[in-house]
Structure 1
């Protein structure tokens, strides 16, 4: 908490993230349930999940822009755009023209805008925190993300039942406006911004963009970072299926309240894990990842098998504790070993290549749910997390990774130009 008291910039960034996550939490629960309620089929929630997750899979396209644009301006504009767009749904409801199709159009647009906002927040951290503060900073960011979800996922489920989903969109619009205000108070120094007044031709601009994009792919696939993607791809395919069928699975053991409770359990587990992230960083990362993902998969599958209103949320929450811990650890490690001015393109490539399986899983999950019980599908998806542990166990370099403090660029076979390293050290 000292970071929040001593670093005003981090406090503004934290508060902005906190408020925008409140809007995201309410929006996601309200939207997915509204789609399920209007469409009366898990197929529509699968399609909605596909459309929301597809922009995440395309995040690699945003990387060069994130590296080029000013952080403060990007954060403020993205929040204001979401503030305006989200009002379309309650307005459509007011004029009695709200349909599933309307929601399915608005959702991916808002999701695409988010793919500029969250990576930009991540890029800002190394500019306002010291290297040794990054894991703690990421833990607090995860707290802002998951802590808000704990409160508002559960309450959103109750509020949907009491006041209706469309009313909550008005609240969302206000939260995004407040987030824009907090981000507007940021003062970030050390950004590598090209201030030249030279007019650049369209051909050159396009060439520069694809050159930066290619550099991001090159760094990932010429280093050990690519090995992360194998397990993540399979796991995210399973998670995509799980998120698509979660409303139907929740309905089978409770209803909209249970949907909120299960999402809350997920967030609570991730939050506890995130808070443990800085503690577990002293252990060998390779061994830790294998153990954590194995435990997470086991709890997940048992949660699905018992299908109990009491035991399922508890076990599902426990499954996300080890997963949340290693995710925070990985974020801090990547921020410390990759030069900041290329962090956006590298992280976006990593994220996109691992997340691309989620929209596919979501779409297929909605289809499979019309033929297979949601409980059986939910059980199978837990095995996807286990696959990550198997990949790490079978890959000798991943298995032997040391503790976070001892991991350097050489641990991942990362090589950068000398000028990249110097520029990175100049803004740390």
Structure 2
């Protein structure tokens, strides 16, 4: 018993030392120059993204007499384009320069928007969906490359902080971009929003051009053919299948998306009804609450994500809390209280997002990171697309009222959160206990 007590005490000391070595948010941005440049490149392009997304929602509504299914189609086409591409772009991130892929992504998106504006293509529902699809191709190239790139420019101690900053930055950019974008569209029109977005892609590309390579290792770069591409993708799925600590976490974001995909769409319909000024401004304000919440959660919840007792349960608890607050959204009067409820729900989902992303990066070897990230994105985008389309059909054919549909999405999230706690948390606890014991014996050997 004494030996067990001493071992437990030393494990806690080892964990405490490791947590104390994690840099602060400001410290990481100040000390890690490469990460700082990547962060600012992301912020610039992310802010511009939301100018275009809000514009696409509005044009879809105008082209279809505000059909819920047509508006849901904007998000669904994004998700269903993203999902099948992710296994391929994830594999590319394991085989080609990750910096080059991020650069190509931004240049491609810049050229698409310039072409749309020059040729005046944005005038009907089909063109809205086509532009949504082509812009997602650029994002599908970028995301796995960045996720795989991050562990090569950050230490293990910096990784959780870096992911929290990236997520917080994405969320702040959503809040700023959606809020200002909605107001700008109300004042200056859709074309101005797209011009702003195109310029942000160009600025981001210029910053990314100055970054170091950041992997993959030369030994991982092999000749590519169609047969090899599919073999590499299948190998990635086998790697996940036979690696249970990774397999568990790959589903965490997708579990949130079972209700979250519909919620992201339903926010647009709420914005059309709630009366925060013009429709574009109302949608923008609600997305601003969503964005700021998603960013605040991981930044404020760093101590939760590093708490050894809570770590096995974080995904399940975070998903369930997200659902609870969306049930409240469906119940309360839609005033400024609505913004607070959306903020808190997405703060909780943001913790799940950052935490699960960090776990995958920590548990995955460098040569597999792109494919694991691609598979993770495949699960969430496919689930989001299905969730969005189902919600769109429910609203289009008036099977439920808007408030009832919102409440249903919250119930789904609570249920899947409990499923995580029942089926995965015990295995996560065993994994973390084993990891801490290995660290303890390793420290004994070193001493």
1:172-229 Cα offsets, whole Å, 9 max, x none, are: 1100000000100001355313598x9x5xxx72232122111111122223343446
What secondary structure, in the 3-state scheme, does the structure 1 residue paired with 2:216 have? coil
TM-score by length of 1: 0.87
Matches within 5 A, 1:225-264: 225-228=246-249, 232-233=253-254, 235-254=256-275, 255-264=279-288
1:371-390 Cα offsets, whole Å, 9 max, x none, are: 23322222211223213311
Matches within 5 A, 1:23-42: 23-40=48-65, 41-42=67-68
CA apart distance, 1:233: 4.2
Distance in 2, Cα, partners of 1:195 & 1:14: 26
Matches within 5 A, 1:37-76: 37-40=62-65, 41-58=67-84, 59-76=86-103
1:213-264 Cα offsets, whole Å, 9 max, x none, are: 1111112222334344666545423222223333222212223322111111
Aligned partners of 1:66 and 1:345 also within 8 Å:
yes
CA apart distance, 1:4: 1.9
TM-score by length of 2: 0.83
204-213 or 293-302: bigger deviation: 204-213
Note closer, same or farther for the CA distance 1:230–1:137 as it changes in structure 2 (3 Å cut). closer
Aligned partners of 1:20 and 1:176 also within 8 Å:
yes
Note closer, same or farther for the CA distance 1:195–1:251 as it changes in structure 2 (3 Å cut). closer
Asked if 1:281 corresponds to 2:309, the answer is: no
1:92-146 Cα offsets, whole Å, 9 max, x none, are: 54x8x72221121111111022111022111111111111110011111112201
239-248 or 269-278: bigger deviation: 239-248
What secondary structure, in the 3-state scheme, does the structure 2 residue paired with 1:369 have? helix
Indicate which of 230, 238, 243 corresponds to 1:210: 230
1:55-111 Cα offsets, whole Å, 9 max, x none, are: 222212222112111012111111011001013443354x8x722211211111110
Number of equivalent positions? 403
Partner of 2:410 in structure 1? 382
Distance in 1, Cα, partners of 2:322 & 2:263: 14
Aligned partners of 1:282 and 1:405 also within 8 Å:
no
Partner of 1:418 in structure 2? none
Indicate which of 159, 163, 183 corresponds to 2:188: 163
Asked if 1:268 corresponds to 2:292, the answer is: yes
Matches within 5 A, 1:294-333: 294-333=320-359
Q: Which runs of 5+ in 1 are unaligned?
A: 412-428
Aligned partners of 2:253 and 2:352 also within 8 Å:
no
Partner of 2:4 in structure 1? none
* Moved segments of 4+, more than 4 Å: 228-234, 402-411
Q: What CA RMSD, in Å, does the superposition of the two structures yield over aligned residues?
A: 2.6
Aligned partners of 1:290 and 1:390 also within 8 Å:
yes
Asked if 1:90 corresponds to 2:90, the answer is: no
Partner of 1:419 in structure 2? none
Asked if 1:129 corresponds to 2:129, the answer is: no
Partner of 2:362 in structure 1? 336
Aligned partners of 1:62 and 1:116 also within 8 Å:
yes
Aligned partners of 2:251 and 2:376 also within 8 Å:
no
Indicate which of 164, 168, 188 corresponds to 1:139: 164
